[in-house]
Structure 1
Amino acid sequence: MSAVYLLLLLLPLVSAQTYRWGPCPTPKVQPNFNLQQYLGRWYEIEKLPASFERGKCIEANYAVRKDGTIQVLNSQFYKDKVRLAEGTAVVQDPREPAKLGVGFSYFAPYSPYWILTTDYASLSVVYSCTEILRLFHVEYAWILSRTRFPPTETVNYGRQLLLNEGIDLFRMKATDQMGCKDN
């Protein structure tokens, strides 16, 4: 019975997220992923809802630090201000370099950040999933581009890839990239 109470307490926290019953799916990731080619700026084109991303002009910039970790610098325009969030990404298993772990706090474990596909020049499709008590999972998905306004067919390709991997896109929504300056 205590698991039910815990679940009821957690539900408001995930209301701005996408959650589904059961364990996380395990989609295929980019084979032969090359981190060096992935570095740089990516613009968020579409996403599953995320409470930490409510603004517009959302982008992420990836760079290698001297210690070998990856600096993740996310920015968005929210409530009339540019908001920045700096995190760290690591390759957790060198045999699967497209499965990164990302953290924005020293006190929390790394969250999965799996690159399902990328051509490094125009498209990246990213998925993240965390199980809660094996009862349900919270998932995120992003379609990213090197440009704020990629061709429709590029975005449709990313959406289809997510659908083929069994990821429900019912709540997927476009990110507003209109009127943005480089953050």
Structure 2
Amino acid sequence: MLKQQLSLACLSVILLASTQMVASQVFHLGRCPKDITTVQDFNVTAYLGLWYEYCKYPFIFEAGGKCIQAEYGAKSDTQVTVLNTQTTILNTKQSIEGVATIEGPGKLSVTFTAIISLPGSSPYWVLATDYTSYAVVYSCTNLGLLHTQVVWILTRDRTPSAEIIKVAQDAITAQNLSLSYLEITEQSNCN
């Protein structure tokens, strides 16, 4: 009897975790859109430095995170270092390092390394930026009959002005992407 209760408890935990994982992604039918445009005169040097995550579509690797930020550094003519940091739901600091390879104007591909390396790379497309206050970043991955999209608004200030956010939102809607999935990232009480 105890063995059955433990099995049911484990199954419940697995189902809850699976539900959270699915809820932490935005899935759509079909393939990734082909009409997404990136910053054609993208200046990677001006883009380097610290960015704070203002909001994003739900994203499994950031579920429950707050104080999320990304720091980009020069590595070579074709690559940029990436350091993503967040405070977890357990109030511990977590970070992951990676490398972004420049694949075209405003198009990068990020590969993260960890104790257990994550397979493959992820698209990191810069849709809009003024380099000094905001950036809109997009990622889309095809998964057979479905695709998953993530959109981020990054800002240079932890608490950006409403005007800056409006400009970023306008850049998102100009690409026919939805604002309805955006979730504001908690950026208060950060060290």
Alpha-carbon shift at residue 168 of structure 1 (Å): 2.0
Instruction: Tell me if 1:131 matches 2:142.
Output: yes
Distance 1:53 1:156, change over 3 A: same
Instruction: Tell me if 1:163 matches 2:173.
Output: yes
Q: Deviations over 1:87-125 (max 9, x none)?
A: 110012xxx231000111456222110000111100100
Alpha-carbon shift at residue 171 of structure 1 (Å): 1.8
Q: Report the counterpart of residue 74 of structure 1 in structure 2.
A: 84
Contact 2:49–2:73 (CA under 8 A) maintained in structure 1: yes
Q: Report the counterpart of residue 28 of structure 2 in structure 1.
A: 20
**In structure 2, what residue type is equivalent to 1:72?**
V
Q: Distance in 1 between matches of 2:46 and 2:58?
A: 27
Q: Deviations over 1:1-51 (max 9, x none)?
A: xxxxxxxxx998543111111111231111210101100000000100001
Distance 1:169 1:65, change over 3 A: same
Select the structure of larger CA radius of gyration: 2
Contact 1:63–1:70 (CA under 8 A) maintained in structure 2: yes
| SS in structure 1 at match of 2:93 | strand
Q: Report the counterpart of residue 129 of structure 2 in structure 1.
A: 118
Greater shift in the superposed pair: 25-34 or 117-126: 25-34
Q: Distance in 1 between matches of 2:73 and 2:175?
A: 29
Instruction: Tell me if 1:44 matches 2:53.
Output: yes
| SS in structure 1 at match of 2:45 | helix
Question: RMSD across aligned C-alpha pairs, in angstroms?
Answer: 1.9
Q: Distance in 2 between matches of 1:155 and 1:12?
A: 28
Q: Deviations over 1:140-174 (max 9, x none)?
A: 00000100011112112211221221112222110
Q: Distance in 1 between matches of 2:97 and 2:77?
A: 16
Distance 1:120 1:67, change over 3 A: closer
Greater shift in the superposed pair: 163-172 or 70-79: 163-172
Which of 112, 120, 128 in structure 2 is aligned with 1:104?
112
Q: Quick check: which one's helix share is greater?
A: 2
Q: Deviations over 1:43-63 (max 9, x none)?
A: 000100001113110000001
Contact 1:43–1:146 (CA under 8 A) maintained in structure 2: yes
Q: Aligned residues: percent identity?
A: 38
**In structure 2, what residue type is equivalent to 1:33?**
F
Distance 1:12 1:43, change over 3 A: closer
TM-score normalised by L of structure 2: 0.81
Contact 1:35–1:97 (CA under 8 A) maintained in structure 2: no
